[in-house]
Amino acid sequence: MTNHNHSQSLSREAVLAVDSAAQIDDVLAIPDHIEDALWRAESAMLAPAAQPASALVVCGVGGSAIGSDLAVALAGDRVTRPVCVTRGYDLPSWADTATAVLCSSYSGNTEETLSCYEQAAALGAPLYVVSSGGLISESAHATGVPVIGLPGILQPRCAVAYGMVGTIEVGIAAGVFEPSIRSELAAAAAPLRELAAQWGPDGDEDALPKRLARAAGERLTVTYGAQLTAPAAYRWRCQINENAKQPAAHAELPESNHNEVCGWGEATAPVPEVAWLLRDADQHPRVRERIEITAQIAADAGASAEIVDTIGDSPASRLFSAVLLGDLVSLYMAVLRGIDPTPVPVIENLKDRLGRPATA
């Protein structure tokens, strides 16, 4: 099953020979997803809250939660109230009737998110739903809870742009995010299409994501992020886990410089790992300095370390460039291993052992 040939082609034909569900096309369609998500949010006609919420709690897991992490990072200092992304069965103990609650479940049947939905409804908190259907949408429609409807044809992990846009639109409606973010999202689609063309399977064989995937091989990858790129680093790790079916790690700077970095320090033999550090133009100058030093520490330990810069002229463009790049790297890693990226048999087995349902 495993393929060690790093000169293997990553052409469209080669990718589709392994990628049976053509997940590659869903990844390359992220720019279209941004535009479609904005249209779907507008069609949902979310009414602005009479009073801004005291906070926003986003409930979701897996592919239905990462978009919210990215949305909060993108909003940055344009967040006017606290935002909490919770990945579990319960709302935070401090949530009350002034707390807006967004339940994000691509399938609409995620048991953790349904539990939070029921708690929010019982609490009387302002509720919003982002979903493609399922039990949560049925309940929301029956009780007048606003729903941003999603297309039901994607893997939850491929709906990242929908989750990101949905979170921002709900945040704007709840008075938690400044509305200026919306136009930035819309403007990000066009430059992202150009990157998709360059980086996709029809692009050059030495394009950045193909080169990174070949360099990684089957080694453990550690992706570092900071500020805007912190959730992108987590996304890289999860995509490598799900698509390439490989263990992976991620860490956030500057925190990891106070603990995790010691793991590179006392190696008795060259460390057979890959360190990717996601750098952004707007990161704190000291964070950018830390990225360079951390890369050198990893390289000194024998790891393959590379600083990867975001691309774009706005935070939205740069963040989406990092997401697109990581998604493609993970998919190309799967193809190089000869492993179909879409099926997740370990998760399916876990759900069966739990007694189903438990999907993002």
Identity at 7, one-letter amino acid code: S
Q: Out of 4, 13, 258, 266, which one is annotated catalytic?
A: 258
Nearest-5° Cα angle at 150, 145 to 156: 115
Nearest 5 degrees, angle CA 119-CA 356-CA 354?
Answer: 95
Question: Which residues lie below 8 Å from residue 43, measured CB to CB, with a gap of 6+?
Answer: none
Contact, 282 vs 270, CB < 8 A?
Answer: no
| Angle (nearest 5°) at CA 59 between 54 and 60 | 155
Active-site residue flag, 255:
no
Residue 242 a catalytic site member: yes
**For residues 38 and 137, what is the distance between their CA atoms, to the nearest angstrom?**
19
Catalytic residue among 118, 184, 218, 351: 351
Q: Which helix (H) or strand (E) holds 48?
A: none
Cβ–Cβ under 8 Å, residues 104 and 70: no
Q: For helices 160-173 and 181-199, give the axis angle rounded to 10 degrees.
A: 170
Q: Are 12 and 201 in contact (CB under 8 A)?
A: yes
- The catalytic position among 242, 245, 250, 273 is 242
Does the annotation mark 258 as catalytic?
yes
- Write out the DSSP string of 303-327: -EEEEEE--SSSHHHHHHHHHHHHH
Residues annotated as catalytic are 242, 258, 351
